[in-house]
Chains A and B, each alone.
Chain A
Amino acid sequence: MKKKKVLLAPLDPVHDIGLKMIKRGLEQKGHDTLLMPPDYSQEEIIKSIIDNDADIVLVSRTLGYGVAEILGKFIDLAEAAEIRDRIKIGIGGMAIRPELAAELGFDAGFGPGTTVAEAVAFVEGRKYIPEETKGKKNKKDITEGYNYLFHNKKIEKLLDSIVDGILDYVNNKTTTAIQRAEIRRRILESDNESEIQRLRVDYSKLCDDVIKSFYVSGKYREKTRPLTSSEVSALKRYVDEVNSRMNPLRLQHNDKNPVVFIQYGTGCPFMDIAHIKSCEAWGSDGAVHFDPSWGARTEGFLEGYITHEEDGSVITYENLKSIKMSLAPNTLWQVRAHRGLNTPETVLLAGKIGADLTKVNIAYGSLGGGTDPERLTVDAVAAIKYAAEFNMPFDVVTNEELCGVPAYKAFAGMLIVSKLGLRLGAKPILQPLFCYSPEVMVSGQMEDNYVDFNAAKIYCLRNIVNAPIWCGAPIGFLTQTEDRVQSSLMTALHASLASSLGVDGISIASSDEAFSGGPITVPARIDTLRATQASFRFFGQSSIAPTENAQNWANEIEEGIEKVLESVVKNGNFIEALYQGILGSREDGAYPGRAGKNSVIKQFC
């Protein structure tokens, strides 16, 4: 490409920083530039164009006053000086709208928000394509590079002993959930319609009445309805159209910044898709599927495209499939199976449809998620086996902290399930909470700042094991208010703290996180995505420095974990430990769930 001579001139009494940036950008590309001092007359600028034989002139105007008169005159002068036809003239600045520039006869107008790359493209006579890298987002494996080596050998030993106990306990035990998952698999893998019908009958027999009546008489649960075929085909059209104009932003400013997940579950898979596509466009890297809470208390899944009037989107093969089909190829997709009576089938469906990640945690699911500890343990082992089979890493979420369980107890449970996952050939991801938890509210670790205790959690986990960490869920939980600026700022700062601590992933909320009066909106999602992007940009490679409290608390948490694990081992049985409150007690705020109590089936071989 031919090197250009570019004259940059401010039509203002003061200098425009934008011109200086563009000058630097042009020089880096090898062009000759000349930056005029500010407050030169228009005639003087015209003369400089002639004297320097410039090919291109970029003028800037930041003041809005009289802008049309001044800019119109500049073009007139260029024309009267008979240089208009041999030079290209661009105009930029705060006062410039592209339409105004066009109306006044400029070749291009750059308003606020113009990038240096855009101006360079104009100079080089290229069509501007927003940052070439943006379109090429890669799907990141957040477990890559971790070998799960335990630095704390004492903890490892304790975990191994507990996991031995779990595997021993679940041996020769099954549940209807495990059986349903097996039948579902055969339904999905069969192409024989009569066999499928037979299997559906078998399946329905293993379900609660509300689900059974769907299979038997086609009745839908209250507050759910099937989506019509016109809705289904319109969705496809919508997604195709949206995909044709997708050019997603990137949130990360450097490689150190974690991948960013958003959580969805509006109740309607189609609204979910609309939200996910917008989040993808604004730079999210992944999406987490939330199912309705009643789904976790009900034995069995429905079939078909089903919408739901309340929070959480119903899990069916069709719903999940339509969501998966709508995702950008680079979007990480997680389907949660951390609680409830359908965890094996959830992971099976997720795996069959091509999810990237799932979520399993027996301790949280039974202490904070309402599922019976024994039932969930048996189901979880089956679920983790599916996760291993479909090569889906799973996170071990520690949301029991939100019930009031102290971090060290929640972490003990998380490490047990993680070790169980490793033993079953899966890849666990640690998910500590970045939150203003009841524990710290009472004990005061966050009285001064939100940094130290969150940092302590990461220091502690890194000290124990070399494993991926994904902060959740969502980060900043209970620090946000209904005010969107405050809410977005809290999310963004927690995101940067996570980044500073070198974590691999984060789940972020919308700025509607604290609002409970209705469904969240897409603008609220964009708020926090933009805030996170801005925060990553702000901190770059620099770090947030916790006080010495962080290291002290990290040591305390680690000691606490050891003690909890020792007492689980002493107690002899993980499931019993859950019932007894060793991993979170009633006093803490944790209650062993009752859904699926006494539903484990003993098998005799």
Chain B
Amino acid sequence: MSLIIGIAGTAKNTGKTTTTSSILDELYNKKILIGLTSIGYDGEETDNITGLPKPRLFVKKNTLLATAEKCLKAGSADYDILETTDIMTPLGRICIVRVHKEGLAVVAGPNKGSQLKYVENKMINELNCKVVLVDGALNRIAPMIETDGVIIATGASRNVNIDILVKETKALHELLNLPEVSKEELQYFTDISKIALIPKKIHEKTSFLNYGSLIGNDIVKEIIDKIKCAETVFIPALISEFALKKLNDGLGTLWANKTLIIKDPIKLITGGNPETLINEIKKIKFNGGNVKTLKNLPLLAITVNPFYPKYRFDIDSYEPGYIDREELVDKMRASVDVPIIDIKHEGSLRLLKSILNLVQP
């Protein structure tokens, strides 16, 4: 059994890199073969001298990496190149390599979901990795759908107001954990690429729209016009917050006994704000409807970081600032039902245990 874990940060300084390196360390302790890649690279953290991303992750011998050609020369680790893929990035082609001398590495992987999938398949099916870590990039979330689950790093850098932070995280968790469809339904919907209005009995007179995404007034209107005989609305691609709102405004109680099926939560999250989206989903439920997803993106854990860079006007400089750690952890735990860990404070062992249960049940 293998596991692909995505690690995403909600803002700078939320501790994404700390989370990734802690997991790496614990996996090394357990002698688990790791594959490591990332979504593109985090150019904010470039080394001013080399112009390349700063090496921030320490990799040990035999770890497998998917990273761009130019990054192989940066950092202190050495590699055997196993494959130079056709995946082009501005830092050169993506290479799949094995570490032969441990050291600091620069990881800049593919930035499209389809390319990420290729790399993951290689690592798991051909190179026998037990865990593949996908280090996220700020401002990009879509390719994470190609993982088995994500760990989200959040904290004071995202928002110093603990209540707002907890509310947002809770909404995100709910979006990522929508009920999944049955196996039978999954099989039926998997190959449908357009919005489908399915009547009561599956396989009968399904009405297809020309679009896969719910992203415009005309599409919303067409669904409203055709909703009467449908029992299920399937949207296989992007759903914008604005269009979903319009759809709810138009349908209202017509949602009663109908089900909205989405392909995966990423299709929602990229299109809007988590709290607004959850509100819309609640509206559907309030009106007697239901919302399901073909596939979820499990939220494996949340790491929280009370630190934030605090600006001081009097000295025109930043200094370390902290919000109340205990309050943050307690409120988060009370609202969000996944492991909540402050890595800096309690280390990553608990985090890893909860993850390893998934790999080695």
Contacts and interface: CB of A to CB of B under 8 A. Distances in A.
A and B touch in the complex (CB under 8 A): yes
Interface of A: 41, 43-44, 46-47, 50, 68-69, 71-73, 75-77, 79-82, 84-85, 98-105, 109
A44 B242 CA distance: 11
Contacts of B216: 43-44, 47
B354 to A, nearest CB: 28
Contacts of B193: 82
Nearest to A81: B238
Contacts of B41: 103
Given A46-B215, A79-B143, A104 B40 contact: yes
B91 A79 contact: no
Nearest to B53: A103
Which one of A84, A101, A109 has the greatest number of beta carbons of chain B within 10 Å?
A: A84
B114 A85 contact: yes
B138 A72 contact: yes
A104 B212 CA distance: 24
B112 A84 contact: yes
Interface of B: 39-44, 46, 89-91, 111-114, 137-143, 193, 211-213, 215-216, 236-238, 240, 242-243, 266-267, 270-271
Q: Which 4 A-B pairs have the closest CB atoms?
A: A72-B139, A102-B90, A105-B111, A79-B142
Contact of A77 (B89, B143, B211, B270): B270
A72 B141 CA distance: 9
B235 to A, nearest CB: 11
Q: Which of B46, B211, B216 lies at the interface centre, i.e. has the most chain A CB atoms within 10 A of its CB?
A: B216
A50 B215 CA distance: 10
A80 B112 CA distance: 11
Given A84-B114, A99-B90, A104-B111, 8 more contacts: A68-B139, A72-B138, A79-B142, A81-B213, A100-B43, A101-B90, A102-B90, A104-B139
Nearest to B243: A43
A101 B137 CA distance: 13
A109 B216 CA distance: 28
A439 B242 CA distance: 77
Nearest to A100: B43
Contacts of A104: 40, 111, 137, 139-140
B160 to A, nearest CB: 19
A80 B267 contact: yes
Nearest to B219: A47
A80 B242 CA distance: 15
A75 B141 CA distance: 10
Contacts of A43: 215-216, 238, 240, 242-243, 271
Nearest to A48: B216
Nearest to B139: A72
Contacts of B91: 102
B112 A76 contact: no
A69 B140 CA distance: 9
B81 to A, nearest CB: 21
B271 A80 contact: yes
A85 B112 contact: yes
B40 A102 contact: yes
A69 B266 contact: no
A230 B213 CA distance: 68
B258 to A, nearest CB: 23
B140 to A, nearest CB: 5
Given A47-B216, A103-B43, A80 B142 contact: yes
B249 to A, nearest CB: 17
Contact of B238 (A41, A46, A98, A102): A46
Contact of A73 (B112, B139, B211): B139
A401 B240 CA distance: 76
Given A46-B238, A50-B213, A68-B138, A79 B40 contact: no
A75 B140 contact: yes
18 contacts: A41-B242, A43-B238, A46-B238, A47-B215, A68-B44, A72-B138, A73-B270, A77-B271, A79-B113, A79-B143, A79-B270, A80-B213, A80-B238, A80-B266, A81-B215, A103-B42, A103-B111, A105-B39
Nearest to A105: B111
Nearest to A77: B270
Q: Which of B89, B137, B213 counts the most chain A CB atoms within 10 A?
A: B213
Contacts of B140: 72, 75-76, 104-105
Nearest to B143: A79
B142 A75 contact: yes
Nearest to B111: A105
A137 B216 CA distance: 54
Most buried by B among A76, A99, A100: A76
A92 B43 CA distance: 18
A76 B141 contact: yes
Contacts of A75: 111, 140, 142
A527 to B, nearest CB: 27
A382 to B, nearest CB: 59
Given A102-B90, A103-B137, A76 B236 contact: no
B178 to A, nearest CB: 15
Residue among A41, A77, A100 facing the most chain B CB atoms (10 A cut-off): A77
A80 B139 contact: no
Contacts of B141: 76
Contacts of A69: 139
A72 B113 CA distance: 14
A68 B112 CA distance: 17
B212 A81 contact: yes
A43 B216 CA distance: 8
Nearest to A66: B139
A44 to B, nearest CB: 7
B9 to A, nearest CB: 13
A228 to B, nearest CB: 33
A336 B338 CA distance: 84
Contacts of B211: 47, 50
Contacts of B39: 105
A605 B40 CA distance: 88
Contacts of B89: 102
A71 B240 contact: no
Nearest to B112: A84
